Structure 1
Amino acid sequence: MMPIIRRIIYSPAINYVLRNILKPFRFCLPASCRIPVSGTIKIKLKGDQFILMTTNQTNYLTKKVFWGGIEDYEYPTVSVFLELIQDMNCFMDIGANIGYYSLMAARLNPRITVHAFEPLPSAFLFLQKNIELNQLNNITAYRLALSDRAGEAEFFATKMAKAMYLEHHISGTSNLARAKDSFSEAIKVNTQTLDSFVKDYSIRAVDLLKLDTEGTENLILNGGRELIAEKKPIIISEILPGKIENELDEFYRENNYLYYAAKPEGLIAVDSLSGYSNAKEDFFFIHRSQKSRLNPFIKD
């Protein structure tokens, strides 16, 4: 019975009606009544700016922003990102999933060029749909995994156990490093280094990188050593505890980068990633010579 009920609740038309009936009561609703989203939602940004996102119930991000707005998902990071992105020319969204950060960047800064990387076929399909839905011609999407070498690799796409009937799972928790389990699908993906990518596409300037690849960020950085040494982009990255902190510490120190944890009160200077937190955290990394660009957001 429950699988049938889920199919009904998450059919886009029924889901649209249910969630919009419940939304006015969101502040008094139990968490279980804040149902995941299936279909298209409108997300308010700054002023009268907004983006549209097509999604399904396997995506946690769109559930959070539907019920709580952009303030309810990674807002310490998003609030700084929304300010920084307006003065940038080139943004690389590595691990773009269905396009949240890419869409925000392209909407708020029509002059920017966005390169969005997503190797998972289902997430890439929704990424393309969302770019088209928002009529944004300054985003280019690539079904590609950036790594420390070019070639082919096995990518583990995580599936939601309660939605196995769906063709497309877009949770954003899949990567090259995840061990295969009963709810993962192994997919062959093409890999390329960041350095070779910027050369192949004649990209001259990169102002901002966002890395969200669930524990393979060190491989991407090692494949982009030339770019990072030359262009010194600001880097936003989610760090999972107990994974690759030592490797990241070594890389950022070698490249003379400073670390800042994204907190509700602002960006907090951090000396080391190793042992900093037992929970996943977002960090901003900036070359020492560029520190002034983050000064408005740094909490002393």
Structure 2
Amino acid sequence: MSLILRAISRLLINRRHPTYSRLLFKASSKYVDFCYGDNDFDRRTNGEIYVLKTIAPRLKTVFDVGANVGDYSADILAMNENVRIHAFEPDKRAFDALAKKGIFKANNIAVGEKPGTIVFNLHKDKTVLNSILDLHDAAEFGSSIKIPMISVDSYAKENDVSHIDFLKADVEGYEFSVIKGGEGMLAKGAIDMIQFEFSGASASARTFLKGFIDLFARHGYSLYRIKPDRIEPVRYRPDQERFTLTNYLAIRGGFRGHGLRIVEPTFLF
């Protein structure tokens, strides 16, 4: 048996003829993604809907940053028709569809660290791939435009928003800047929960998971990885810097009104 295992090992781990090694690596990567729940874009299976169903009845004020055409906000309203949603979408094409829904406060503006103006890259075909960052080949972008930008703090002040129950940020790698722009409210404990996406776009932005952890820790927030039926506390190690699509949830210290099931991680992390 040991001879057979050694022969298989030599076949799979062969630097001179790495074809099988590549296949093994790809299969292993897919398995790891499956176990972590990473690279799953379906809200019904990646845990996002689980989180929304659990917290929606408790929500009063929501910020949806990177709302696109408003599907995420519509999901929240379907679960709680009384919630007040402030949706932000800088692309006019997506914003028009967002505004037509007429069920939340739609803002045709970008959100970042500081108020001002910024260059926004428009994807030719898919508005969900628009980004302030240069993420894709130039041929994939139709054009770039200058757009106004606000911060979470400045918008909240101008619109008399004293408390945000839930903030969602899905902005193709710009999530860290969005959250930095809300540090004033974080410092006051005026945001209960923040969900953000961490992905390959985060690498383009040169932001790391450790940066998010440190930012939230400064203000007494704990970070969790969103799973299909639970959330898991993040126990940081450098090898967690995997730039695959993952959704995280930051929860204000002392806030117990979310109702989510918290389970210690049992696989790898």
TM range (shorter): 0.7 to 0.9
Q: Which residue number corresponds to residue 115 of structure 1?
A: 86
Any residues of structure 2 matched to 1:97-112 within 5 Å, and which? 97-112=68-83
Amino acid in structure 2 at the alignment position of 1:192 = I
Residues in 2 aligned to 1:88 and 1:274: alpha-carbon distance in whole angstroms: 34
Residue 295 (structure 1) shift = 5.3
Q: Which residue number corresponds to residue 176 of structure 2?
A: 218
1:285 to 1:262, Cα distance in 2 relative to 1, 3 A: same
Q: Which residue number corresponds to residue 188 of structure 1?
A: 146
1:274 to 1:252, Cα distance in 2 relative to 1, 3 A: farther
Q: Which residue number corresponds to residue 150 of structure 1?
A: 115
TM-score, normalisation: structure 1? 0.66
**What is the aligned counterpart of 1:198 among 142, 156, 179?**
156
Larger deviation, residues 251-260 vs 84-93: 251-260
**What is the aligned counterpart of 1:266 among 230, 236, 246?**
230
**Residue 75 of structure 2 aligns to a residue in which SS?**
helix
Amino acid in structure 1 at the alignment position of 2:195 = I
Are residues 1:77 and 2:55 paired?
no
Residue 278 (structure 1) shift = 4.0
Residues in 2 aligned to 1:114 and 1:154: alpha-carbon distance in whole angstroms: 26
Q: Which residue number corresponds to residue 253 of structure 2?
A: 288
Stretches of structure 1 that go unaligned for 5 or more consecutive residues are 1-60, 161-168
State the percentage of identical aligned residues: 22
Residues in 2 aligned to 1:108 and 1:145: alpha-carbon distance in whole angstroms: 27
Q: How many residues align?
A: 216
Any residues of structure 2 matched to 1:224-263 within 5 Å, and which? 224-230=182-188, 231-241=190-200, 242=203, 243-245=206-208, 246-263=210-227
Larger deviation, residues 190-199 vs 177-186: 177-186
Residues in 2 aligned to 1:273 and 1:127: alpha-carbon distance in whole angstroms: 39
Residues in 1 aligned to 2:237 and 2:53: alpha-carbon distance in whole angstroms: 24
1:228 to 1:71, Cα distance in 2 relative to 1, 3 A: same
**Residue 87 of structure 2 aligns to a residue in which SS?**
strand
Residues in 2 aligned to 1:264 and 1:228: alpha-carbon distance in whole angstroms: 27
Q: Which residue number corresponds to residue 263 of structure 2?
A: 299
Amino acid in structure 2 at the alignment position of 1:259 = L
Residue 273 (structure 1) shift = 7.9
Contact 1:259 1:272 in 2 (8 A): no
Residues in 1 aligned to 2:110 and 2:170: alpha-carbon distance in whole angstroms: 12
**What is the aligned counterpart of 1:174 among 127, 130, 136?**
130
Larger deviation, residues 112-121 vs 248-257: 248-257
Are residues 1:94 and 2:65 paired?
yes
Residues in 1 aligned to 2:83 and 2:238: alpha-carbon distance in whole angstroms: 34
Residue 274 (structure 1) shift = 5.1
Amino acid in structure 2 at the alignment position of 1:248 = F
- Max radius of gyration: which structure? 2
Residue 288 (structure 1) shift = 2.0
